């Protein structure tokens, strides 16, 4: 990558960080004492859980987007964790969004099937928002919680 490309990537990362901090600050409570512990709680809340719906049948449900961006590096693999919500008597197959040399604009990677699982999905040198989608492999639909 040439110097102009690196500077553009750096400027985008800085802009994203500023936008993310402004969003976090505006959504934080207006309590008089914003402590480090509350900032850590806000950061961990941004990592999930998110909810995906697994419809019955052979089709994947709607995409469930995270509220954060991940800035990777060459060789980076994004961790995803997921589990079927209690009371959802179903088993699912999950797909996670990621990037590799053949899919520089992103594609869906299989993240496992069952009641819960985790996967390391290729991410690489990309700034993007993680997302997942689910499909039921039983006769009932269900909800799936996922985290990054």
Residue 112, strand partner residues: 94
Q: What is the mean pLDDT of residues 39-50?
A: 59
* Whole-angstrom distance, CA of residue 99 vs CA of residue 102: 8
**Which residue range(s) make up the domain with 81?**
49-148
Please state the separation of Cα 138 from the chain's center in Å: 25
Question: CA-to-CA distance for 135 and 59, rounded, in angstroms?
Answer: 6
Same domain, 4 and 36: yes
Q: Where are the alpha helices (DSSP H) in 1-148?
A: 3-27, 36-46
Residues 65 and 102 in one domain: yes
28 with 76, same domain: the answer is: no
* Residue 78 binned pLDDT confidence (cut-offs 50, 70, 90): very high
At 70, the pLDDT band (50, 70, 90 cuts) reads very high
Q: Are residues 29 and 58 in the same domain?
A: no
Q: Domain boundary at 13, 29, 46, which?
A: 46
Task: Tell me: do 124 and 57 sit in the same domain.
Answer: yes
Looking at the predicted structure, is the pLDDT value of residue 71 above 90? yes
Number of domains comprising the chain: 2
Q: What is the rounded distance in angstroms from the CA atom of residue 128 to the CA atom of residue 90?
A: 30
In which band, very low, low, confident or very high, does the pLDDT at 5 lie, cut at 50, 70 and 90?
very low
Average pLDDT of the segment spanning 59-66: 96
Q: 95 and 35, same structural domain?
A: no
Is the domain of 19 the same as that of 64? no
User: Rounded distance, CA 82 to CA 75, Å?
Assistant: 23
**DSSP 8-class letter at 59:** S
Please indicate, yes or no, whether residues 21 and 82 belong to a single structural domain of this protein.
Answer: no
Task: State whether 138 and 99 are in the same domain.
Answer: yes
Tell me: do 59 and 107 sit in the same domain. yes
CATH number at residue 84: 2.60.120
Both structure tokens of 4: 């102009």
**Quick one: what percent of the chain has pLDDT higher than 70?**
69
Judge if 78 and 114 occupy the same domain. yes
Mean pLDDT, all residues of the chain? 78
Minimum mean pLDDT range among 19-33, 41-55, 79-93: 19-33
Considering the domain architecture, whether residues 71 and 32 belong to the same structural domain is answered as no
- Quick check: helix, strand or coil at residue 5? helix
């Amino acid at each position: 990558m040439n110097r102009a490309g690196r500077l553009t990537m750096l400027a985008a990362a800085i802009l994203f960080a500023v936008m993310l901090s402004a969003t976090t600050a505006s959504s934080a409570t207006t309590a008089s004492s914003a402590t480090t512990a509350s900032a850590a709680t806000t950061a961990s809340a941004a990592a999930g859980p998110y909810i995906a719906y697994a419809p019955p049948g052979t089709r994947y449900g709607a995409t469930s987007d995270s509220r954060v961006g991940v800035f990777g590096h060459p060789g980076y693999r994004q961790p995803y964790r997921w589990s079927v919500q209690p009371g959802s008597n179903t088993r699912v197959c999950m797909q996670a969004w990621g990037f590799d040399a053949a899919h520089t604009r992103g594609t869906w990677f299989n993240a496992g099937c069952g009641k819960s699982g985790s996967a390391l999905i290729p991410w690489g040198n990309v700034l993007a928002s993680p997302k997942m989608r689910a499909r039921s492999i039983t006769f009932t639909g269900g909800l799936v919680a996922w985290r990054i």
